[in-house]
């Protein structure tokens, strides 16, 4: 089983379908696609390819600083958020790590690389729509060196409010636990971010992806905000030149494109409403989502449904390999009206 969504290349080879004819609901990427401003910038910067990238991502770091309102001395850029997850774990060497379930698998994978580290899972329950019990999580984190929370959560789309996240951060501070908040999808609900609070909570680390909201998955780009007292240690474990020149240029322009952000929010609000009405009409159980995807409970096994849709050139994420989920869940991204309508039609006849 593929560990993540978005493997359109394998699907194209196996099905004999051109890449541009595959409808990929398995990867939760902005359906508006890469901003035109970014595409134009990439063409203008092809001449940079003869040079090594700026090893410090100086211009990008400065733009991130202005965009989110934090000091550039607390920012580190990376080759997508996944590199930064592994980097933080490798640098800080936690021995006891708390992760939620279901959640992004790379938290556990990063910890498994370490010798002697142990993982404790905090399982969110289906009967609660996989909502995080904040008080119970705080209790479970005691005695841990590090804890991960994905917010909004992947694959459920559930959100921990900023006020509740800061309750967790305060408790982590008091118990000596490093709280890593993965805000890969927070651009879809920016008011709930805690990224500006890192200066107040030294044990808080916030990781961001730019591949989801700005549709830059093929370039790989992310950043983290870490207290400067800890950032030097993290940076000392980072390989050089992991953020290429085009990714740096793309990130700067993307962060400045306010029109793209506005269009995204308008577009997604309409398409999420359309999909939710369709799910209810078809009596498909879904988890309320604050992100650009939905966790759906399938009428049958997720594996069978994903295979049958794949045969039609439609990819969804079989969630059977997420800890904390059984074999009946699929995840589907929000896409264009035509594509969303196609998904609803195909789910009707399965």
Mark whether 166 and 241 lie in a shared domain: yes
- pLDDT band at residue 4 using 50, 70 and 90 as cut-offs: confident
Rg (CA), the chain: 20
CA dihedral 40, 43, 44, 47 (to 10 degrees): 160
Task: Return d(Cα 240, Cα 277) in angstroms, integer.
Answer: 48
CATH number at residue 171: 3.40.640.10
| Last-in-domain residue among 202, 237, 256 | 256
In the prediction, which pLDDT does 2 show?
47
* Model pLDDT for residues 235-247, shown as the tens digit of each residue: 999 999 999 999 9
For Cα atoms 237, 61, 203, give the angle at the middle one, nearest 5 degrees. Answer: 55
Mean pLDDT of 178-186: 98
Mark whether 65 and 173 lie in a shared domain: yes
Q: Which residues constitute the domain of residue 283?
A: 8-35+258-349
| Last-in-domain residue among 256, 288, 320 | 256
Mark whether 187 and 306 lie in a shared domain: no
| Mean pLDDT estimate for the chain | 96
What's the pTM?
0.96
Mark whether 326 and 288 lie in a shared domain: yes
Q: How many domains does the chain have?
A: 2
Q: Residues of the chain with pLDDT > 70: what percent?
A: 99
Beta-carbon contacts of 349 under 8 Å, excluding residues fewer than 6 positions away, are: none
Mark whether 28 and 69 lie in a shared domain: no
Mark whether 318 and 214 lie in a shared domain: no
In the prediction, which pLDDT does 106 show?
97
CA count, 13 A, side-chain hemisphere, 45: 19
- pLDDT band at residue 350 using 50, 70 and 90 as cut-offs: confident
Identify the sign of the CA torsion 115, 154, 193, 82: positive
Q: Is the pLDDT of residue 170 over 90?
A: yes
* Model pLDDT for residues 127-166, shown as the tens digit of each residue: 999 999 999 999 999 999 999 999 999 999 999 999 999 9
Residue 43 within a domain: no
């Amino acid at each position: 089983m593929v560990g993540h969504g978005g493997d359109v290349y394998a699907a194209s080879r196996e099905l004999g379908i051109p890449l541009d004819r595959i409808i990929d609901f398995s990867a939760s990427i902005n359906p508006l696609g890469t901003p035109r401003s970014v595409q134009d910038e990439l063409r203008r910067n092809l001449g940079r390819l003869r040079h090594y990238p700026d090893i410090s991502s100086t211009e990008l770091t400065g733009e991130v600083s202005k965009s989110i309102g934090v000091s550039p001395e607390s920012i580190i850029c990376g080759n997508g958020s996944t590199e930064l997850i592994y980097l933080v774990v490798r640098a800080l060497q936690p021995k006891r790590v708390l992760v939620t379930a279901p959640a992004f698998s790379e938290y556990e994978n990063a910890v498994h690389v370490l010798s002697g580290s142990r993982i404790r899972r905090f399982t969110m329950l289906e009967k609660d729509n996989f909502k995080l019990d904040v008080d119970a999580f705080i209790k479970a984190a005691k005695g841990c060196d590090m804890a991960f929370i994905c917010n909004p959560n992947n694959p459920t789309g559930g959100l921990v409010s900023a006020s509740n996240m800061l309750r967790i951060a305060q408790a982590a501070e008091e118990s000596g636990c490093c709280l890593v908040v993965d805000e890969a999808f927070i651009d879809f609900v920016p008011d709930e971010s805690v990224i500006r609070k890192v200066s107040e909570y030294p044990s808080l680390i916030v990781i961001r992806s730019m591949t989801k909201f700005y549709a830059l998955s093929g370039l790989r780009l992310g950043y983290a905000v870490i207290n400067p007292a800890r950032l030097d240690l993290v940076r000392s474990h980072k390989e050089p030149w992991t953020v290429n020149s085009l990714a740096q240029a793309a990130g700067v322009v993307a962060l400045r494109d306010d029109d793209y952000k506005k269009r995204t929010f308008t577009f997604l609000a309409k398409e999420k409403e359309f999909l939710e009405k369709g799910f209810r009409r078809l009596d498909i159980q879904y988890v309320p989502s604050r992100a650009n995807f939905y966790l759906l409970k399938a009428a049958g096994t997720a594996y069978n449904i994903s295979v049958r849709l794949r045969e039609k050139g439609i990819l969804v994420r079989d969630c059977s390999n997420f800890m904390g989920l059984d074999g009946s869940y699929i995840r589907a991204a929000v896409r264009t009206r035509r594509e969303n309508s196609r998904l609803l039609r195909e789910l009707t006849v399965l």
